[in-house]
Structure 1
Amino acid sequence: MNIRSKTSKNNRQGSKKCITISALATLVLTGGLAVQSADAHWYQWYRSTGVVYTQSNIPTPNGNSILGFRRDALGTLTPLPTASFPTGGAGIPNAPIVGGGPVAITAFASDQEVIVNPEKTKLFTVNSGSNTIAVFDIQKDGNLSPVEGSPFPSGGVAPVSLGLAGDILTVVNQNLLPQIPAQEASDSLPNYTTFRVTPRGRLISIPNSTASVPRGSLPTQALISPNKRLLFGMDAGTGLLRSYQILPNGRLQQSPNSPQKLPPAAFPPNPLGLTLGLQVHPRQPILYVAFTLSRQLGVYAYEPDGDLHLLKTVPNSGLFICWIAINRAGTRLYTTNPGDNSVTVYDIAKDPSTPVEIQRVVLRGEMGTGGAQLTLDATESFLHVVSQSAVNIMPANNRISVLKVNQYDGTVTEVSSSPRLIPSVNNSFPQGIVAN
């Protein structure tokens, strides 16, 4: 009798352990989205720790670096023991390059300056001031070590954006930085160019892969489609939307109706027409475009060959909508609006072609600071935003803001420890952000 009672008790305890393990397994399989139990809550809390990287962008010879921060489960950022990893190149100074006043295009008119591969074993970043690309191995503890041969020539002048399609790396060379004397005399044109990435991370130039665009185009982004067969780009200086097919040999072939002029809705009546951010839906052939000064989000459908068709535009309550991020499920879209230092949240679950704004959050920070690039972490528990000081104003206000993502409705709340200040060196400003 006693043996049976003891056995029954052990079985009940074993069942309880199995239920706990099952709950954790379910959470893993659903990507941390189905938070149903105390076990699941604990596991999501545990998984939400990680590492955040941004680029210091210091514009002195060999002064550029990647800054690394450990993020705890509450969203607090703490510098890694080795907080700075030299890129072997130079960044670019914070100075206007086109226009003036509130519509100045500054040197941070770009996105995807720092990216990681899907396996999160390699980190790539631009050295905009020295025309090179740095590649790092990501260690298990978050530290970075440069791969052999890094940094590599970018194939042009002033690289500002990177896109990875399998083992093909696309580089956007913007070539519009007159404040850098060494680049003023260059005869090269802005371009998109591709490289083969070897298993060890070395970059091998692909012959005849460079697609040049006219001088003054100000290309800003190398956005890759989910199937890795298309590249989308924006000429912020001329208001043209571009699409390319990425051929099996790594070369770029311009799509049928590329470049495409933006619709009149993208431009307000008087100021400079400026368009910056691009993002693709993870499941549907839809491209989202930030019509910056008109405070609208453009929605395009795209064909398998990259042919683009405007579907509609929707309003954004923020000022100067710029960069865009989307969660993996394709249910929420986030934008940064540097004009009022805010983040806007859209519902795209019901109809991805008709984003519905559900929230706008103003980030903490002093006047003269505006949110720029943004990214979700691997578990989509936190949204991270690089905020940069206005041109030559209060450079001490460079920072990273961290927002907690509500796992039920996708809205965001800035965590109590946010923002994390980033010191300015020689009028530097951070650019690009990734979070593991």
Structure 2
Amino acid sequence: MGHKHAGATEAAQGIRHGGHVYMQTNETRNAIIHYLRSADGMITEVERVPTGGAGSGTFKPISGQESAPNAFEGAGSVLLTPDRRFLFTTNGGDNTVSSFSVGSDGRLTLVDLTPTGNPVTGRSGTAKSLAYAPSIGTLIVLHSFGPDHVRLMSVDGAGKLTLRLDRYTVNTPDKPNRVATMAALTPDQRFLFVGTTFDQPPTANPDGSAILWVPGPDGKPKSIASNEPDPDGLIVFPVSPDATLGRPSFYDANGGSPFFIVFLHNQPDTFVIGYAVGDGIAKGTIDGDGRVDIGRPVQIDTSAGKPSELCWLSISPDDRWAFATNFGYSGISSFRVDGPEPVVAQDPACPRVPGDGSFRALNGTVSSGPSCSWLTPDGAYLYQIYGNASKLMGYAVQPDGSLEELTSAAIPYNSPQGLAGA
């Protein structure tokens, strides 16, 4: 928390610092690309460090598509610890986690490679999202598919990982095959949030796009998007001091497919949700007993077709802006989030980035499939993955919430996932 406050102060004074950006290639021989970030926001590739594990490559295990961006449909797959000593990444292809030590120059050294304990069935595993509780030395690993969606690893002082026997599910008796997307810890590390996209894995149309509707018990079409209509798409686990998770509570997220959860920097009881099928964001709070209250979603312009697949979020250090990545629309929208409820600021916030024309989103639009984003600690620069365009883009954040293109780097086609930095 203190670092983010300092970043906000320095931003107000116009002070800029360089740093580092990290992204996993998610190739079948997975690697972390390390970029040096200059004070003016430009990025330069420094090294590609093998993780020792396997990514899913361009293959998308959620839908079975041979090649599609956002291959394992998750968020937070690359994680830098708050003290910047270690970097962790999932290896979705073989269900392992890699641990790296981070040098004073930002360079990475592989410390450990540990299986998550979930077997790989078929062509790829689905380990895809990480959350870290430094107070109890625990790394939380989320998988797309269950029943054991959540697995835990202990982290020692050298960054070595030890798998724990604990395993937890976000399935319910009537939904035995739910698809989870992201794990997020509350700032006090007392509760774990898990977002979901689907109540059952989607099948694919002939063009490779996912099918969102299936026949219901009454013969009428039923959405497979989570929380639409069943009000149980957001899952909250209490976290015990011994790092075990308690009985989960299932909450109405107030919108379809509550994909991404992020907590505000200066209001630790307040979070923002991005909805992949709900086409917008909402603010919520959690009290000391773990009770959650969520406001109404505020949507972007969906005239291009629903859903927009608004998935990933980055929050500015002063909690003023939320930058929302629209996977289906090939771009980013910005919101003001410093009021009682979000307000659309710039929609879109930057020009659309075209892909190679081979990928269609759920609404049928041709998309470059942007996925993970990362905002610098001073709030000055935003970096965004465009997998189908084979680009990592960097933007300068403008006073009105718009984004000005600044830099780009070539990245592998379709597979890259996860951004972290300092």
| TM superposition score category, shorter chain reference | 0.7 to 0.9
* Match in the other structure for 1:362: 350
**Bigger radius of gyration, 1 or 2?**
1
The sequence identity of aligned pairs, in percent, is: 23
Q: Which of 318, 329, 338 is residue 327 of structure 2 equivalent to?
A: 338
Change (3 A) 1:259 1:29: closer
Q: Which of 254, 259, 266 is residue 276 of structure 1 equivalent to?
A: 259
Q: State the Cα deviation string for residues 24-57 of structure 1 (Å, max 9, x = none).
A: xxx968641322xxxxx4xx23x1x221110011
**2:69–2:415 CA contact under 8 A, matched in 1:** no
**1:196–1:250 CA contact under 8 A, matched in 2:** no
1:165 aligns with 2:133: yes
* Match in the other structure for 1:185: none
Give, in whole Å, the separation in 1 of the partners of 2:7 and 2:403: 24
Q: Which of 388, 407, 411 is residue 422 of structure 1 equivalent to?
A: 411
Q: State the Cα deviation string for residues 309-360 of structure 1 (Å, max 9, x = none).
A: 23222112373211111123222211101212211111122x2x40111112
* Match in the other structure for 2:279: 295
Equivalent residue of 1:386, what SS? strand
* Match in the other structure for 2:403: 412
Equivalent residue of 1:194, what SS? strand
1:73 aligns with 2:39: yes
Cα distance, 1:85 vs. partner? Answer: 0.4
**1:363–1:401 CA contact under 8 A, matched in 2:** no
Q: State the Cα deviation string for residues 240-263 of structure 1 (Å, max 9, x = none).
A: 2101111100011134xx222443
1:399 aligns with 2:391: yes
**1:55–1:433 CA contact under 8 A, matched in 2:** yes
Give, in whole Å, the separation in 2 of the partners of 1:55 and 1:347: 30
Unmatched 5+ residue regions in structure 1?
1-26, 36-40, 176-187, 268-273, 390-396
* Match in the other structure for 1:154: 116
Equivalent residue of 2:246, what SS? strand
Give, in whole Å, the separation in 2 of the partners of 1:364 and 1:301: 33
Give, in whole Å, the separation in 2 of the partners of 1:326 and 1:423: 26
Change (3 A) 1:172 1:378: same
Give, in whole Å, the separation in 1 of the partners of 2:80 and 2:370: 21
Cα distance, 1:278 vs. partner? Answer: 1.6
Change (3 A) 1:252 1:363: farther
Cα distance, 1:303 vs. partner? Answer: 2.2
What code does the residue aligned with 1:333 have?
A
1:217 aligns with 2:178: yes
Unmatched 5+ residue regions in structure 2?
120-125, 200-225, 227-232, 303-307, 356-366
Give, in whole Å, the separation in 2 of the partners of 1:382 and 1:331: 15
Q: State the Cα deviation string for residues 114-133 of structure 1 (Å, max 9, x = none).
A: 00000111100001111110
Give, in whole Å, the separation in 2 of the partners of 1:105 and 1:304: 38
Cα distance, 1:372 vs. partner? Answer: 0.8
1:76-155 equivalences under 5 Å are 76-80=42-46, 83-98=47-62, 107-147=71-111, 150-155=112-117
Equivalent residue of 1:32, what SS? helix
**2:331–2:353 CA contact under 8 A, matched in 1:** no
* Match in the other structure for 1:236: 197
Equivalent residue of 2:349, what SS? strand
* Match in the other structure for 1:19: none
**2:97–2:115 CA contact under 8 A, matched in 1:** yes
Cα distance, 1:284 vs. partner? Answer: 4.6
* Match in the other structure for 1:260: 251
- TM-score, length-normalised on structure 2? 0.78
Cα distance, 1:68 vs. partner? Answer: 0.9
Equivalent residue of 1:312, what SS? coil
**2:96–2:116 CA contact under 8 A, matched in 1:** yes
1:299-314 equivalences under 5 Å are 299-314=283-298
**2:79–2:87 CA contact under 8 A, matched in 1:** yes
1:327 aligns with 2:316: yes
Cα distance, 1:302 vs. partner? Answer: 1.8
What code does the residue aligned with 2:37 have?
R
* Match in the other structure for 2:360: none
Change (3 A) 1:145 1:363: farther
- TM-score, length-normalised on structure 1? 0.75
Cα distance, 1:142 vs. partner? Answer: 1.8
